[in-house]
A and B are shown apart, each in its own frame.
Chain A
Amino acid sequence: MQNKTLFLTSAAAVAAATLLVGCATTPPGPTAAELDAQAMAMMKASFREQGIAKLDRIQQDLGQSACSSDKPPTEAVAKQVEAEALASIKWPTGGQYIGDWRAGERLAQDGRGMAWNNPSTDPKNNGGQCYNCHAIDKKEISFGTIGPSLWNYGKLRGVKDVTDPVSAPIVQYTWGKLWNSKAYAACSNMPRMGHMKLLDEQQIRDLMALLLDPKSPVNQ
């Protein structure tokens, strides 16, 4: 099957080159648009499903395809992605934003979930994988640097009481960022934890507590 695809795509490339050969001094390769189409065909032909990882995972949504090149999307597309993401955010039931920072720390440490060797896509089996990319509690020296440091996240933003209305904007922003990071940056590297059902509401509450609870070690 792979062979056939390759044959077909190269045949197409040869055909395209033959057509154009009359009006160019050097035989041109495929155009950018042709390569885009060939790349999509290649992605489709090269992968097979395995365990919980089905082929729909390489069917891109608007945001994914808009952020799939070395150039950022146009401002209009970025705005559209962000607006759709913002509208998708599910705010917490009963306005309960904050859970248990201890459970949050365990989630932040846990990098498992959603890979083809994992048993199920149930959020209960997933970690938040936060330390992969962020410094969080200073005591953990094994942290990544793709995202910004979250040490003193709540403290630096002046959160003394998470229920105080003064804290509401930062509390809501943090929930939104965890639920669907693309609401605030179309091509954010951060997974959409809530929107893609990587974590459930309670798990996000626990991460919220890790970041915002004045008692959390992060804010000492």
Chain B
Amino acid sequence: MLNRRTLLTHSTKVAALLASAGLLPQFAHAAYNAAAFEMKTMAELVKLLGGSAPIESKDVTITGPDIAENGAVVPVGASTALPGVKRLLILVEKNPSVLSAAFDVSDSVDASFTTRVKMGQSSNVYAVAMMGDGKVLFAQKEVKVTLGGCGG
């Protein structure tokens, strides 16, 4: 509820920013896709981004711990050695917004990124590779988030 309203105001703000995007050439071709960060499921998200139905694949790798001692910081990595990958996504199934990060892959970098995400509860995390030919491949892994000790 709150989420949607906040995101809507963001979209307006982002639109305004885009008008002045000439000042930031490196962002000129990459408008922030606020709608993508509103999606609740992988299927919805991939559809929005124009990909075909996602298929689980051994050629995509998701890295992360089996157990996260704290959900505020969960290290996750997405990678693939497949040629022709355009975009790598990191998703957390049970977060309010399923998409955490989207990386545009160029020839100058490996299709391999590591970052850290917040997780509200134990959940599957996904690495999703969007290929140049429209195929969408993914890998998944379950991460258990443990409760903290003491009074917090």
Please say whether the chains A and B touch (CB closer than 8 A): yes
Q: Does B12 contact A (CB under 8 A)?
A: no
Q: Does A214 contact B (CB under 8 A)?
A: no
CA distance A115 to B149 in the complex (A): 14
The 8 A CB mask of A100-131 against B (1 = contact, 0 = none) is 00000000010111010010000000000101
Report B's interface with A, CB cutoff 8 A. Answer: 146-147, 149-152
A111 contacts across to B, CB distance below 8 A: 149-152
A142 contacts across to B, CB distance below 8 A: 146-147, 149
Q: Does A149 contact B (CB under 8 A)?
A: no
A141 contacts across to B, CB distance below 8 A: 146
Partner of B149, one of A113, A118, A132: A132
Partner of A109, one of B147, B150, B151: B147
Q: Does A28 contact B (CB under 8 A)?
A: no
Chain A residues within 8 Å of chain B by Cβ, number: 12
Q: Does A158 contact B (CB under 8 A)?
A: no
A72 contacts across to B, CB distance below 8 A: none
CA distance A142 to B68 in the complex (A): 11
CA distance A132 to B150 in the complex (A): 6
A109 contacts across to B, CB distance below 8 A: 147
B43 to chain A, nearest CB (A): 31
**CB-based contact B151/A113 at 8 Å:** yes
A127 to chain B, nearest CB (A): 8
**CB-based contact B150/A129 at 8 Å:** yes
Q: Does A147 contact B (CB under 8 A)?
A: no
CA distance A34 to B151 in the complex (A): 36
B149 contacts across to A, CB distance below 8 A: 111, 132, 142, 144
A113 contacts across to B, CB distance below 8 A: 151
Closest to A140 in B: B147
CA distance A129 to B147 in the complex (A): 12
CA distance A196 to B151 in the complex (A): 18
**CB-based contact B147/A115 at 8 Å:** no
CA distance A167 to B132 in the complex (A): 71
B146 contacts across to A, CB distance below 8 A: 141-142
CA distance A111 to B151 in the complex (A): 5
Closest to B147 in A: A142
CA distance A16 to B147 in the complex (A): 52
CA distance A132 to B146 in the complex (A): 13
Could you list some 12 contacts between A and B, CB below 8 A? A109-B147, A111-B150, A111-B151, A112-B151, A113-B151, A118-B151, A129-B150, A131-B147, A132-B149, A141-B146, A142-B146, A142-B147
A144 contacts across to B, CB distance below 8 A: 149
CA distance A112 to B150 in the complex (A): 7
